[in-house]
Amino acid sequence: MDQTVENQAMAPKPAPLISESEKNAIIGGVLLSMLLAALDQTIVAPALPTIARSLGHAEYLPWIVTGYLLTATAMSPLYGKISDVYGRRPVIYAAILIFLLGSLVSALAPNMLVLVVGRAIQGAGGGGLFALAQTVIGDLVPPRERARYAAWISGTWAVASVAGPLLGGVFAEHLHWSLIFWINLPIGFLAMAIINNPLKKLPITARHHSIDGLGAVLLVVATALLLLALSWGGGTYPWFSAEILGLVACSAVFWAFFALRLLKAAEPLISLDVLGNRIVLAGTLSMFLLQAANIGASVYLPVYLQSVVGLSVAESGTAMLGLMLGTVAGAAFSGRMIARFVHYRRIAMAGISLAIACIGVLSAIAGHASLLEVEILTTLIGLGSGTTFPVSTISVQNAVDRAHLGVATGVLTFLRTLGGALGVAMLGAVALGYGLPLAAEGSQAHIQLTSATPFVMIFLTAGVTLVLALIALALMPEKPLRGHDEQAAPVLAE
């Protein structure tokens, strides 16, 4: 009798029904919070020269970017696990508040050191906002219907990519650089107000589980050391210097300890069931490789447009719109079509194949391409690669049960961000190896080149990485997508 009462007390209570308007409010609120973190990755760069003049110590400027990247990447998988245990609402609130605290510290920073600390605090919250936004959408919408929200997510990134540099430049040049941080406060509090009541209705699926603190520390340290090596390699230190090799070796040691901890812990930070799932492995690997190619190429595309095509800095930024808008359109198309295809994986495979073909053509004509040709090719590259984001995300989330949804989404977000950092480092090494006098940070000046060979090799390397992403997708098993109603969308194709 007592055991029955205890079991009843431990059983999760049925979740209150969430109306369509509440669902839309939650999704709008979490995407607004996601916009905060995305905006802060793009809004700072135009203000860096102004910040250096104001605070001094310009040699530490890269840490304003690196500090955010380190903590955001390292923390993203932790938020997934914590939200699986304690529920989405308190964890996403904590992430927003941590992000706003970092914004406040950054806005009031009297010197460069305090600003770097503030940016690291921002990243600790921002890493959670990326993962939790997609996790909450996963809670609310079944996989068959979830992909159509991918256009909203891609649109959020597109807005941040366009609005961030514009706002950062205007604030730094005409007002004050601290406004790039002050602007986060009203947006953050608005997001909290929107999601406050409806988010209470989301169920907590793993209340009686625990967090592996030692595993979390090992993961954060291993990730931070690896990102430092990727950020400093080829720029601050040569790739084969003692400093970079030492960071890579130390990172490998901590990754080994983390792997051992996953095997030994009573309840590991990342479930072995999740890590051993072939769909999760292939889906996250394809996203990792795709981001390595996309982010890496997008860093060097403006440099190509300036040094080979002959555009100004401002014109090259405008010319990047084709790539970004193509990515949004590709994600929107893929999201609409997933539920209508039995073999939905083929949508992404066709898209990546298009991107591979276009980047191959771009590498072939790089030395004499016109602006129109570059715009058409980069738009098609974005369109093709954009189809992969909904397919990989939905496949991974559909492959695990609700209790592991946060962990799986956190791992996907983590590898997506890490892939971008690796891509910049990888293509930066190619650029330096072929005589392109440019570190990963970029340059505002035109670069005088006698040959387009460095860019040919950069585009070819990105293309090979996309081929590897295509192979990972081809190896990913397909699982029928769960839905509220199996007749919700007619199947158009096998």
Q: What confidence tens digit (pLDDT) does each residue in 447-459 have? A: 556 677 888 888 9
| 64, containing H or E segment | helix 62-86
Note the Cα 27 to chain centre separation in Å: 18
Nearest to 105 by CA among 181, 192, 184, 183: 181
**Neighbouring residues of 102: CB distance < 8 A, sequence distance ≥ 6:** 118, 119, 120, 121, 122, 123, 124, 125
pLDDT at 401: 76
- Distance (Å, rounded) from C-alpha 415 to C-alpha 407? 12
Give yes or no for a contact between 380 and 358, defined as CB atoms under 8 angstroms apart. Answer: yes
Give yes or no for a contact between 482 and 143, defined as CB atoms under 8 angstroms apart. Answer: yes
Q: Counting beta carbons within 10 angstroms of the beta carbon of residue 382, is it exposed (0 to 12), middle (13 to 18) or buried (19 or more)?
A: buried
- Distance (Å, rounded) from C-alpha 227 to C-alpha 62? 13
Report the CATH number of the 271-494 domain: 1.20.1250.20
- Binned at pLDDT 50, 70 and 90, residue 249 comes out as very high
Same CATH fold assignment for domains 20-211 and 271-494? yes
- Distance (Å, rounded) from C-alpha 162 to C-alpha 139? 29
pLDDT at 452: 78
- Distance (Å, rounded) from C-alpha 262 to C-alpha 276? 12
- 314-361: per-residue pLDDT in tens? 677 677 778 878 888 888 788 777 777 778 888 889 999 999 999 999
Burial 38-61 (b: 16+ CB within 10 A, else e): bbbbbbbbbbbebbbebbeeeebb
- 279-289: per-residue pLDDT in tens? 888 888 898 89
Query: Structural domain boundaries of the chain?
Result: 20-211, 271-494
- Binned at pLDDT 50, 70 and 90, residue 101 comes out as very high
Distance of CA 319 to CAs 234, 293, 325, 354, Å? 27, 19, 11, 20
φ/ψ of 493, rounded to 5, equals -155, 150
**Sign for the pseudo-dihedral over CA of 287, 292, 295, 297:** negative
- 147-173: per-residue pLDDT in tens? 667 667 766 776 776 677 677 767 776
pLDDT at 7: 44
Judged against a pLDDT cut of 80, whether residue 218 lies above it is answered with: yes
Average pLDDT over residues 219-243: 80
- Distance (Å, rounded) from C-alpha 150 to C-alpha 310? 35
Give yes or no for a contact between 176 and 53, defined as CB atoms under 8 angstroms apart. Answer: no
Query: Is 20-211 in CATH node 2.40.70.10?
Result: no
Give yes or no for a contact between 150 and 335, defined as CB atoms under 8 angstroms apart. Answer: yes
| DSSP state, residue 175 | S
Alpha helices in 147-271 (DSSP H): 150-174, 179-182, 184-195, 213-232, 242-264
- Binned at pLDDT 50, 70 and 90, residue 464 comes out as very high
Give the highest mean pLDDT range of 201-215, 313-327, 426-440: 313-327
Average pLDDT over residues 97-115: 88
